Structure 1
Amino acid sequence: MKIEEAIKQKKFSSEVQRAQINILYTASFLNSVHSQLFKEYDLSAQQYNVLRIINGQDPKPASVQLINERMIDASSNVSRIVDKLVAKKWVTRTTCRRDRRQVDIKITPKAKELIAEVHEQFQERFKVLDEIPTNELELLNDTLDKMRGLILKSKS
């Protein structure tokens, strides 16, 4: 579906404006689909992101700083999210032996199963994206990377 149809707007002031609105609309749409799935597992998008980061570190522990650096949503309160994950028994938190100021966060087997199940559901729900040729997905990814890079560069 074209963005013009989705938001019932016939004209944009430029292709740049059309692209910006298209990206915002698509991001919101994807967030909505993800949120529906996460609700089924009593998860938030930020909690899932933290679990994925910690799982990617396994078997090494993760620190709050490492998680914070890798978060998709940089404004997230990682300590609060980790507290909730500990309460759900999805991660453990212990004091680091080498540096008592640091906390080691590790994923539990229960959370590993959860991540695998959620990932499987994502694969199923987004299977239709397999219809987009790989070269088009590569172009989309390259364009989004370039856009972020240009925006970051213009800020400095």
Structure 2
Amino acid sequence: MKELNEILKIKSKIPLSQATVINIFQTTSWMKDDLLLQLKPYDLSIEQFNVLRILRGQNGNAINLQDIQERMVSKMSNTTRLVDKLIKKNFVKRTICKANRRKVEIMITDLGLDTLITIDPIIDKTEKKITNNLTQDELTELNTLLIKLKNK
């Protein structure tokens, strides 16, 4: 197994905190690349896929843009732009709330649901491949540590 210094092609020892942050960034990039490769044939970004899963979780109920944004994995995403792209692909539809005409509601379409049904097993297989080198106990510990890291 390669050490981080070897991967980065550096000879000097770097502080453990710096090595950890770099390692997490590299791992995130590697994971995103693997997932993007699987989503590419469906013309979906990871963020668009995330929006579709959020909408599916609504079980046929509409949701507004702000609620989608709050549930996004990447909070930096431009939700309006993501939804607009999904509308063009007929994966989601936008409606005006009858009770409040200023409120826009978003729903997943049948095509969006069918696409997720097709993609889900592919993404599941990819996630299992990504985490294959870790035991269930190690995955649990890693999740615990990542949550602890975020709760600064």
Aligned to 2:125: 124
Q: How does 1:8-47 map to 2 (within 5 A)?
A: 8-47=9-48
Please report how far the alpha carbon of residue 13 of structure 1 lies from its aligned counterpart in structure 2 after TM superposition.
2.4
Q: How does 1:1-156 map to 2 (within 5 A)?
A: 1-2=1-2, 3-128=4-129, 129-130=131-132, 132-150=134-152
Asked if the contact 2:36/2:45 (under 8 Å) is kept, the reply is yes
Distance 2:11 2:119 in 1: 38
Distance 2:118 2:97 in 1: 30
Asked if the contact 1:12/1:18 (under 8 Å) is kept, the reply is no
Asked if the contact 1:93/1:105 (under 8 Å) is kept, the reply is yes
Distance 2:92 2:40 in 1: 19
After superposing the two structures, state which structure 1 stretch, 3-12 or 104-113, moved more.
3-12
Aligned to 1:154: none
Identity %: 36
SS in 2 for 1:58: coil
Asked if the contact 1:49/1:72 (under 8 Å) is kept, the reply is yes
Distance 1:78 1:18 in 2: 32
Larger RCO (alpha carbons 8 Å, 6+ apart):
2
SS in 1 for 2:57: helix
What RMSD, in angstroms, separates the aligned Cα atoms of the two structures? 1.7
Distance 2:13 2:139 in 1: 25
- How many residues end up aligned between the 2 structures? 150
SS in 2 for 1:57: coil
Please report how far the alpha carbon of residue 131 of structure 1 lies from its aligned counterpart in structure 2 after TM superposition.
5.0
Asked if the contact 1:34/1:45 (under 8 Å) is kept, the reply is yes
Asked if the contact 1:86/1:92 (under 8 Å) is kept, the reply is yes
After superposing the two structures, state which structure 1 stretch, 78-87 or 7-16, moved more.
7-16
Q: Please state which structure has a larger fraction of its residues in helix.
A: 1
Mind listing any 5+ residue stretches in structure 2 that lack a counterpart?
A: none
Please report how far the alpha carbon of residue 12 of structure 1 lies from its aligned counterpart in structure 2 after TM superposition.
3.4
**AA matched with 1:71:** M
